[in-house]
Amino acid sequence: MKAIAVAVPVLVLAFAMFAGAVPPVANLRAPAGAQAEDFVTGGGWIWHNGEHLNFGFVAGYKSDQPLGGQLNYIDHGGSLHLKAESVDAYSGSGNSRTFSGQASINGVTGFAYECYVEDNGTPGIGVDYFRCSNLATEETVEGFLEGGNIQIHT
């Protein structure tokens, strides 16, 4: 358990350091009526099948930029690493957002994903919510945050 406790802050720190340095994985213009000046960020961990699942993401429309984002999650129990190749859709209102696109799983491309997140308070432990589905296999990971935070930026 000590190795996992050390890995969580390192993953979140690594994501925070590189999130602004890497260009968005998708460069699409916002469709009419979309939430153009709105984006969501998050990082942390949830329990999945009794094991840690770490995640980090940014998705949406930043000021004067097209739709873009990044997503990584690592399921330590299932030895699965999902990494977004694109963020193709983004929507939501109030305290929740949904984003989706194409991803690679353990380095194999061509998987569709969809994530739903809720920002229910700061800090997010026990109140913020993360759900991500692999649409090809219909596998879903979800739960309230055991560590970390999700933040909607308007």
Residue-wise pLDDT for 108-150, tens only, equals: 999 999 999 999 999 999 999 999 999 888 889 999 999 999 9
Closest CA to 44 of 55, 35, 52: 55
Q: Are 105 and 111 in contact (CB under 8 A)?
A: yes
Q: How many whole angstroms separate alpha carbon 29 and alpha carbon 120?
A: 29
Residue 14 banded pLDDT, cuts 50, 70, 90: very low
Count the residues in the chain.
Answer: 154
Give SS3 for 49. Answer: coil
Q: Are 46 and 141 in contact (CB under 8 A)?
A: yes
Amino acid in position 18: F
What is the pTM for the complete model shown? 0.77
Phi, psi dihedral angles at 36 (to 5 degrees):
-75, 15
